[in-house]
Structure 1
């Protein structure tokens, strides 16, 4: 049985992971949970899964959680309760955990992910910002600890699954900085987001409601805006570079409105392998948890005759300026991807608060990255990454029109 520590248990990744645990109770158990402010759901998760430790991001919520758990009665053995950044990191490195699912959104997931790596834990990585902001820091830590990093987001999981048919599959060591033998090119598929069928000239009129209306599925507001700007794929390009070791020239974005092909790899002999399935995060999460095995599920099976057609097109840079900003930041390397990520998080937050317009997002990101150019650290420390993350957020906020 595999013991799990789930970071961000009340979010989308965490709740879907717990659904998988419910589906396969003989294979997985929960030993650690971390969460934010959704105590109603967290208490239910604790009652059902009986973790050894629970950590809250907000120390001020500990007393309320303790009171709620006490009211559950003697039938519930109380877990160890921790709080704050140190508490989240302790839960990530919890001794009895075999695999850590990193579902915390944004750069807040960096420190607990590093804590898990330093404790020698394997990771199901759903927090892309860990590698984007701190790839030069994380890669040496993985090498030192021997932790295995498994991608849990659908695109990088698709690439990982396609590579299982190559000579590299036996080792499956990602984030080494060296591309797997025979891998020539990666194609990351993108839905195109809320504005994929808009005229670029109309983006100046885009509202928050427009940007958060995804044509294919329901997601959190921040990631839905990133999908509309294509920054989500820009960030995934940087993550793919660190995971699979390919040069940025060999990592492409393809608009695929049906979201059935989750990504593709081209091998040295020109063969192209793709992973297909209905858009559902539970499948890549299950593969992370069960790898290298395949578990039988009762889930809906893909019927291509039902899909009827699969279409593809190149992304229009005029529609998606964030795409080129991400390529530029990735190629600059060092601390620049951390600045890109932080500037985007700040700009998107201001857009969602209706303090800026949609087209201000790439303008603010570009301005912040340009200001950082002279201060770029090519070989950053963790302290450097955290410092530029804070700096970029402040500079972006101050530059708002």
Structure 2
């Protein structure tokens, strides 16, 4: 960004790139008449002094913006008029250079008014450049042509700089949004992973506490199970941070173990349809959150989990016979599920009736690929 929009440094000296110095090469065109026979010392001294003053003004105008740039452009045009009595070539060079700088004025309407003003200056100055009208007309046409060419070239360069700035801003915005999306993903995944696993640990720990006096051996087994689950949770957290996700088959096994530990009967498919990895990862985490909600909030005694690959899409349903979902009771877990399903182009619905029935419908893989393309 700093390379595209030059601004004064803290020390007050303007920062310039090499284009400013390369542009001064045009001054040598204005010094060509000094090589002609008949050039006097006045032509030499006046031309060299004018070129030096112009170079200083031009370099100061290069990083300027706003009113300062307007003042520098008018000063360059004035220097061109002052050189008219002893070097008309410098007059044209100065005014043409001013036209190139006028392209950087904003808004564009100001740039148009400035180039119109410079063209009028060219017209007036051209009347004093040659002893005959043909020479004056040719000089005027050349000055007008090169003024317009310099202005249009400047507009093109300015637009390229603006486009580069917009690309840079878009890149920075994309990076910012990517960071936000990654944070939201990690937050959702941690909620799903830890919410499910900690609920299971709590259930196992409560059961072990109740069995500690009556059946110490079974309590010890339950605590060993708590240790195993905690280690798995640690590994899952690491996978979440790295962005990896487990398969749907593993998630179904864990869901069955968690539900049975909570005393809930489970009915689930024995075989799974073939699904793309993106669907498996998303559905696995949706299933984990749904099972966690059943264990925590439903009070259900039976749960049916179905997964089907139909012509109209992939459908996952989790239905229990518990208390049902109260209106407006959607929390961060359900919000995370909706975000996951939306990212896959699907829909998430809650059915009416006794208990809670969660349905997720994802589009067929072929249709989603066409939409993504």
Q: TM-score range by the shorter chain?
A: under 0.3
Larger relative contact order (CA 8 Å, sep ≥ 6): 1
- Structure with a larger share of its residues in helix: 2
**Greater C-alpha Rg:** 2
